[in-house]
Amino acid sequence: MKKTKILFLCTGNSCRSQMAEGFTKFFWSNFINPKSAGIRKYEVDPLAIKVMKEEGIDISNNYSKTIQELEEKEFDYVITLCDHARETCPYFPGKILHKGFPDPPYLTSQLTNIEDKLKVYRKVRNQIKDFILKLPQHLRLIS
């Protein structure tokens, strides 16, 4: 069975798109070949790594990359995870979908307590997880 190729696209490929790729590999690797990239690249967010480890998913070896750095250039679906990526997404053959999620680094930029920051990251992580758990049905990849 040919796997569906999905690109998760976000501004910096440091948090939300890394989480989406990690969850997709964890839950749907039999059906989906996920990749992630950003319009720009940043370091993978240490708090994203931490909250994903709480789910049993290790993204600590992932690295941030731009669209231009991707080896694969053709995807069945490109899913933008933030408004900036949706607005600046270059042309890709295939279907482009948008499912925006709040930006944990932005939401926590004024917080100083690590537990308060982690609560925000966990909330967004759980929203992404819920979306990914339903992804094959939404895309009609499995019956």
Q: How far apart are the first and last CA of the chain?
A: 14
Contacts of 2 by beta carbon, 8 Å cutoff, 6+ apart: none
Per the listing, tokens 């839950």 go with 27
The neighbouring-strand residues paired with 95 are 77
How far apart are the C-alpha atoms of 85 and 88, rounded to whole Å?
5
Q: Which of 6, 9, 10, 47 is catalytic?
A: 10
Question: Angle of helix 16-28 relative to helix 114-139, nearest 10 degrees?
Answer: 50
- Could you tell me if 85 and 11 are in contact, meaning their C-beta atoms sit under 8 angstroms apart? yes
Q: Which of 70, 89, 97, 107 is catalytic?
A: 89
Q: Which of 19, 48, 82, 120 is catalytic?
A: 82
- Could you tell me if 33 and 25 are in contact, meaning their C-beta atoms sit under 8 angstroms apart? no
Decide if 15 is catalytic: no
Per the listing, tokens 């949706």 go with 86
Decide if 10 is catalytic: yes
List, by residue number, the catalytic residues.
Answer: 10, 82, 89
